[in-house]
Amino acid sequence: MVDASIRLQILEIMQRLKREFKVSFLYITHDLSTAYHVSDDIMILHQGRVVEQGDARRVIDHPQHAYTQQLVDAIPIPDPDVRWAAAPEAVDAPDDSAPALPTPPALAESAPVRPLVKAD
């Protein structure tokens, strides 16, 4: 894993290449906060199967599958008073629904993670 500041530089280079040269990237990550910013479309995989796909902002802002909702809930927020905006109730997952994700480790203070939406 690369340092947070290096990761930001890499993502900025990717954005510039995308904008200036119309280059497409296959960006594989569990980090939905960066996927939200760099992706036009997103595909959520769970146990090797596509469980949700579409416009990145729509999928992340309004998750329809339990696993997608768990990934959104796991986005680290450095300010405990600011939460990711509440999304509508997720649709009930099929019988092979996603297992509970472990609580992510505490985020290092130096990581430049910003909330995408400030809840009212």
Give pLDDT, residue 43: 96
Q: What is the CATH number of the domain that holds 24?
A: 3.40.50.300
| Domain residue limits at 88 | 1-103
* CA atoms of 67 and 52, how far apart (whole Å): 9
* CA atoms of 11 and 73, how far apart (whole Å): 22
Higher pLDDT, 99 or 22: 22
Task: Write the DSSP assignment of 45-68 as a string of letters.
Answer: EETTEEEEEEEHHHHHHS--SHHH
* Cβ neighbour number for residue 63 with a 10 Å cutoff: 23
Across the chain, the runs of DSSP E, i.e. the strands, are 41-46, 49-55
Instruction: Answer whether residue 117 is part of any domain.
Output: no
Give pLDDT, residue 74: 87
Tokens of 49: 């199967």
pLDDT in tens, 73-108: 888 777 667 655 544 444 454 555 555 555 555 544
Instruction: Answer whether residue 41 is part of any domain.
Output: yes
Instruction: Answer whether residue 118 is part of any domain.
Output: no
**In terms of residues, how long is the chain?**
120
* Cβ neighbour number for residue 84 with a 10 Å cutoff: 20
* CA atoms of 57 and 60, how far apart (whole Å): 5
Q: What is the DSSP letter of 83?
A: -
Instruction: Answer whether residue 112 is part of any domain.
Output: no
Considering its fold, how many domains does the chain have in total?
1
Instruction: Answer whether residue 111 is part of any domain.
Output: no
Higher pLDDT, 49 or 100: 49
Instruction: Answer whether residue 29 is part of any domain.
Output: yes
pTM reported for the whole predicted model: 0.59
Give pLDDT, residue 1: 66
33-56 mean pLDDT = 92
26-53 mean pLDDT = 91
Instruction: Answer whether residue 108 is part of any domain.
Output: no
Give pLDDT, residue 37: 83
Instruction: Answer whether residue 35 is part of any domain.
Output: yes
- What does pLDDT average to over the chain? 77
